[in-house]
Structure 1
């Protein structure tokens, strides 16, 4: 398939987060990072979770507006650092708390 024939939008959602016990917020952030890295749009299906949809939309815009100073590798490093902090202090990883962490730094 030629590059021009590749889909421009990736449709995804909370895959693997139900019976398999996956972490919705963390998996969503990883999927957004992957789409940004691949220069693809993302349509994330939140299955009625309007607050999560809004937070993910804000996060995607934040990632895309970062310019040269905000590469995917930098964002991934920040994601790992934040997730590690959540584990250390036994707090929940949420998209909202991750955004606050990113804006502080």
Structure 2
């Protein structure tokens, strides 16, 4: 699978100083990744870093303040024709939001969509040869992102890049159910990426733009469910056209 590094725009983040979250932990257990800091410039909004062949040397427990080295790790992943480990990691940096509502601004959504698409796309490679994207709550936590929005953004980007998504919710069963239900809902109703994107714009205009509180009264997923169902009811009224 293509493994997503929830990166800092300065790749590696605080791995050589005080940082110890997702990216730093990955760089510690696959220490060859640290070398990338020597020759990788700060990532631009339309750039990602793809690293192939690093080996995992350590196992660990905990996260951030509770992180502990556990034991040595024997990497059993296969090797390619160049004898590299068949491990592909993509570093994509999310925006840092200090205000919750800022992430729903159309320009910010486009930026995150383009960043994820840049990381997932492999021009010239047939879709049947592309592995799934292994990801999770990219840009959440300290970066202030909304997990449900970020999940939807990554699903949209992966759809355009013609890749499946394996989403890890880190034990959050409620988030798992929400994402699964939303994906099922959108798939069953055959909504396109463009249609979902327009729903995100509607959500900003109708719920976020003039919001005077830290967060809107209606959350994103309920808004999408309501908007799609309302449109379906209107379209299926007697005398209304139901198709081309």
TM-score by length of 1: 0.77
1:27-69 deviation digits (Å, cap 9, x = unpaired): 11111222223332211111122121111112112222333xx
State the match for 1:71 in structure 2.
192
In the alignment, structure 2 segments of 5+ residues that lack a partner are 1-123, 232-244
By relative contact order (CA 8 Å, sep 6+), the higher-ranking structure is 1
In the alignment, structure 1 segments of 5+ residues that lack a partner are none
Of stretches 28-37 and 10-19 in structure 1, the one that deviates more from structure 2 is 28-37
Contact 2:203/2:223, CA 8 A, preserved across alignment: no
For 1:26 and 1:83, locate their aligned partners in 2 and report how far apart those are by CA, in whole Å.
12
For 2:188 and 2:196, locate their aligned partners in 1 and report how far apart those are by CA, in whole Å.
12
Q: Residues 1-105 of structure 1 correspond to what in structure 2 (within 5 A)?
A: 2-3=125-126, 4-7=128-131, 9-67=132-190, 70-87=191-208, 88-89=210-211, 90-91=216-217, 93-105=219-231
Q: Which has the larger radius of gyration?
A: 2
For 1:39 and 1:77, locate their aligned partners in 2 and report how far apart those are by CA, in whole Å.
20
Equivalent position SS for 2:171: coil
Equivalent position SS for 1:52: helix
For 1:33 and 1:24, locate their aligned partners in 2 and report how far apart those are by CA, in whole Å.
14
Q: When the two structures are aligned, how many residues end up with a matched partner?
A: 102
